[in-house]
Amino acid sequence: MKQFILIWAILISINSNVKGQSIYNYDSTGIQLQKLASRIQEDTILRNRLNADSIFTRALVQTLKSPYSFKYTFDSLTAIKHIVSPDERFKFFSWQVDLGDGTYRQRGAMQFPGNEGQLKLLPFFDNSDFVQNNTLGVYDRKKWIGAIYYEIIPMQYNGATIYTLLGFDENNTSVSKKIIEVVRFENDEPILGGDFFKFTPDPTYPIGILDRFIYSFKKGSNAIIKYEKLKNRIMISELASTDNDLKKQETLVPSGNFKYFAWINNKWELSIKEENSYKKK
């Protein structure tokens, strides 16, 4: 844990008002970043993965110090996820490190377009191993429930724009997870989670108040959570148990049917009826 904190301390120490031309040019460092990111994911020795992660973090930060780096597309950097919100308010970088014991540690950083091209980068700290129930809790970025984000959905909420992030977590050797996380901003700081979900009780879904939706299933079963933009809803695979026991997460696989979250009255409301097509309210 100390090693992860030291690595990410690099991000905290960055001056948010970096000025001038960086000696690092993305065209010349992109290939090296990709090689390092690939080593993080593919090297079979934990020490090498951690070393690559440390070097990659420093190299990424140096690259982002270049003026107007927010506009970099990072097309050649395919070994980690990097996505931009549709309104270009922020960009999110996320990746994971296999710790060699069947568990993973997620890494995250949120970049904003700065005035005059200056760097503004916020590190996120994976705190999921230290929270008893990851579906509960409204947190700042220092207590992030780690995920590799693959989609950002802007929504209107009480006159402001907030964002729903869809992500996945390899979790362990038998169970994978997908996560729906709602993010809002207070004083330019991201706040994660909140009372944004509404659904009827179901054995395969959490029951009670949620601050984020976490979906656990058998590793390799490819359960789906994706946003259907034209219908303004999130499609979710319905799950069934191979052992007829819905409490065993490692037995849950897609049944072939789907459920849907639609944004209604400032909440993601779950429906089992495909024909229900909602508009923003």
| Average confidence (pLDDT) over 39-54 | 96
- pLDDT bin (cut points 50, 70, 90) of residue 59 is very high
- pLDDT bin (cut points 50, 70, 90) of residue 176 is very high
Q: Is the pLDDT assigned to residue 263 strictly greater than 70? A: yes
Tokens at 81, concatenated: 């996820």
| Average confidence (pLDDT) over 124-134 | 92
Give the DSSP per-residue string, 182-240: EEEEETTEEEE--S-EE----TTS--S--SSEEEEEETTS---EEEEGGGTEEEEEEEE
190-208 pLDDT, tens digit per residue, is 999 999 998 776 665 556 7
pLDDT at 117: 78
pLDDT at 209: 81
Q: Is the pLDDT assigned to residue 157 strictly greater than 80? A: yes
For residue 17, CA distances in Å to 58, 62, 66, 124, 146 come to 18, 14, 12, 20, 27
| Average confidence (pLDDT) over 55-74 | 91
Cβ atoms of 176 and 169 within 8 Å: the answer is: yes
Query: What percentage of the chain carries pLDDT values higher than 70?
Result: 84
Q: In which residue are the tokens 């005035």 written?
A: 115
Q: In which residue are the tokens 């990410």 written?
A: 8
207 torsion bin: left (phi>0), alpha (psi -120 to 50), beta (else): beta
